[in-house]
Amino acid sequence: MRKKIIVIGAGPAGLTAAEQLQAAGYQVTLFESTDHVGGLARSFELWGQTVDCGPHRFFSNDPRINNYFKSFIGDDYTTVNRLTRIFYRKRFFFYPLQAANALSNLPFSTVLHILWSYVQQCLRPINNPSTFEEWVVNKFGRKLFSIFFKNYSEKLWGIPCAKIDAEWAAQRIKKLSLWEALKSALLGNTGNKHKTLVDQFAYPKKGSGELYQRIANKLVQDGGELRLRQQIRAVEQNESGKVIGVRDREGILHEADMVISTMPLTHLVKGLQAPAAIQSHAQALYFRNTILVYVEVDAVDLFPDNWIYVHSDDVLHGRITNFRNWSKELYGDKSSTILCLEYWCFDQDEIWQYDADKMGALAEEELRKMQLLKSTHRVLNTSLLRVPKCYPVYETGYQQHLQPVQTYLDTVEGLLVIGRYGAFKYNNQDHSILMGLLAAAQIKSGRSQNLWRINTDDEYQEEGQSAYQSGN
């Protein structure tokens, strides 16, 4: 008899694992609590256009991921010329840095202050930095940290930079340095293959979610079962601790030989027969929520960026995506632009309870304050999307809680945990796809694939090239 596999969550990791196992002859059932697939990387229709949940580009230096991407997308992609800028003190700074732009935007005294601060830090470095603030100050100097890191990072995480674990910096900006930024500025980034500075990336013509819809279609065509709008309450174990299936919200048991979970790690552990100490460690881990506010404007040339990082403290949002600048298939014959503003918060924050009208008004007010919307621009529509528990918070010392949980989960027979939520890792979609591929490989081969090691501090988060640029 074919082994029964249940996968919880139809995001990039869960979908990939489910499709791979079904194609290999297993009997797979994929449970998804929402009415869509793709998780944070999904696309959806809005006002006659297609949008994503914020910016989702695709590239990797891993041929396994690139080949998987190309096997579903084929030629149905566009090469996007990336333009991203930082908005700081009512000025725009190109990212990556361009010398003329940076020098014209910053007072000369500030430039000297940045360099002097950097030299001082080199002379008196912090030994073994444990926080994001210490790590970045060590790398760039305190002045540059205060300009281009502090405000944005604290918006995103909701805690002071002195309480953010240094691992976050190691993942995101490990190979960057002030010298590299200056060299990029002076040489125009010539020959630089550093992924953060990549100039182009591949993007499915109909949105990032097109990839995941095609994976889901393949899963079903191969005989797999996709159950939408069905929430899983707990993973069930027998008396010896072996996983025997999952229990849904109505209390019905769905039996399986193995379970792959991408549900939030905290929820998973709560439903297991874990010791009290493990439950306590899991409860110490927490996530950050996102509020996405979509704004339709009666214009087609608001600004040229794909997305903008907002480092100003006089507005609450932290990033703006302009879907007019990704693929023409997203907007078709529409003569309007859809922007997406991202606000980050916790459950207890007042803004999490704001209704759609209030968030729409706030978004329009902030766009006009930044002068991205002129008096002549008319807002046609606004829409609100709340995304709970989408960012695992790397608070200082979080590994002291996560590692015991990981060790315990490795002892649960018949269970694998993957994905951004499941593994409590700030994955890009390529990392989650790799987790799905390797989880399926582990089940098929019976050999460990070291799933916890994917996207660790020794693997730079944004290293590599576009799937199509790489030639793999």
Find the domain containing 161 and state its range.
98-190
- How does pLDDT run along the chain (472 residues), one tens digit per residue? 689 999 999 999 999 999 999 999 999 999 999 999 999 999 999 999 999 999 998 878 889 999 999 999 999 999 999 999 999 988 998 876 666 777 788 898 998 998 899 999 999 999 999 999 999 999 889 998 998 889 999 999 999 999 999 988 776 665 556 666 666 655 555 544 444 446 788 899 999 999 999 999 999 999 999 999 999 999 999 999 999 999 999 999 999 999 999 999 999 999 998 999 999 999 999 999 999 999 999 999 999 999 999 999 999 999 999 999 999 999 999 999 999 999 999 999 999 999 999 999 999 999 999 999 999 999 999 999 999 999 999 999 999 999 999 999 999 999 999 999 999 998 889 999 999 999 999 999 999 888 888 876 444 334 444 444 433 3
Query: Mapping DSSP to helix (H, G, I), strand (E, B) and coil, where does residue 345 land?
Result: strand
pTM as predicted: 0.91
Q: Which amino acid is at 410?
A: D
Q: pLDDT tens-digit profile of 369-395?
A: 999 999 999 999 999 999 999 999 999
Please report whether residue 47 resides in a domain. no
Please report whether residue 406 resides in a domain. yes
217 and 279 both lie in a single domain: yes
36 and 104 both lie in a single domain: no
129 and 261 both lie in a single domain: no
How confident is the model at residue 462, as a pLDDT? 42
Q: Containing H/E element for 233?
A: strand 232-237
185 and 243 both lie in a single domain: no
Please report whether residue 75 resides in a domain. no
140 and 262 both lie in a single domain: no
108 and 176 both lie in a single domain: yes
Instruction: Count the domains in the chain.
Output: 2
Query: What letters, b where the CB count within 10 A reaches 16 and e where it falls short, cover 139-158?
Result: bbbbbbbbbbbbbbbbbbbb
133 and 269 both lie in a single domain: no
Chain mean position to CA 229: 23
CATH number at residue 250: 3.50.50.60
269 and 401 both lie in a single domain: yes
And the tokens for 291? 């509020």
Q: Are 425 and 262 a contacting pair, CB within 8 Å?
A: no
Q: pLDDT tens-digit profile of 430-468?
A: 999 999 999 999 999 999 888 888 876 444 334 444 444
Query: What letters, b where the CB count within 10 A reaches 16 and e where it falls short, cover 32-47?
Result: bbeebbbbbbbbeebe
How confident is the model at residue 103, as a pLDDT? 73
Measured CA to CA, the distance from residue 245 to residue 223 in angstroms comes to: 20
Which of 190, 218, 242 is the last residue before a domain boundary? 190
And the tokens for 440? 């399926």
How confident is the model at residue 321, as a pLDDT? 98
Which of 157, 190, 223 is the last residue before a domain boundary? 190
136 and 262 both lie in a single domain: no
How confident is the model at residue 209, as a pLDDT? 97
403 and 446 both lie in a single domain: yes
149 and 221 both lie in a single domain: no
Measured CA to CA, the distance from residue 167 to residue 393 in angstroms comes to: 11
Q: pLDDT tens-digit profile of 82-115?
A: 999 999 988 998 876 666 777 788 898 998 998 8
Measured CA to CA, the distance from residue 282 to residue 276 in angstroms comes to: 10
Measured CA to CA, the distance from residue 241 to residue 68 in angstroms comes to: 35
How confident is the model at residue 403, as a pLDDT? 96
119 and 247 both lie in a single domain: no
Please report whether residue 297 resides in a domain. no
Query: Mapping DSSP to helix (H, G, I), strand (E, B) and coil, where does residue 287 land?
Result: strand
And the tokens for 219? 């899963």
Tokens 């059932």 belong to 29
How confident is the model at residue 174, as a pLDDT? 57
Query: Mapping DSSP to helix (H, G, I), strand (E, B) and coil, where does residue 29 land?
Result: strand
**According to DSSP H, which parts of 89-141 are helical?**
99-105, 108-123, 132-140
Please report whether residue 158 resides in a domain. yes
**According to DSSP H, which parts of 200-345 are helical?**
209-221, 265-270, 276-283, 328-331
Contacts 24+ apart (CB under 8 A), 21-27: 21/440, 21/443, 21/444, 22/219, 22/222, 22/223, 22/224, 23/218, 23/222, 24/440, 24/444, 26/2, 26/443, 27/2, 27/3, 27/223, 27/224
Which of 190, 222, 251 is the last residue before a domain boundary? 190
Q: Which amino acid is at 398?
A: Y
Please report whether residue 365 resides in a domain. no
Please report whether residue 214 resides in a domain. yes
Please report whether residue 371 resides in a domain. no
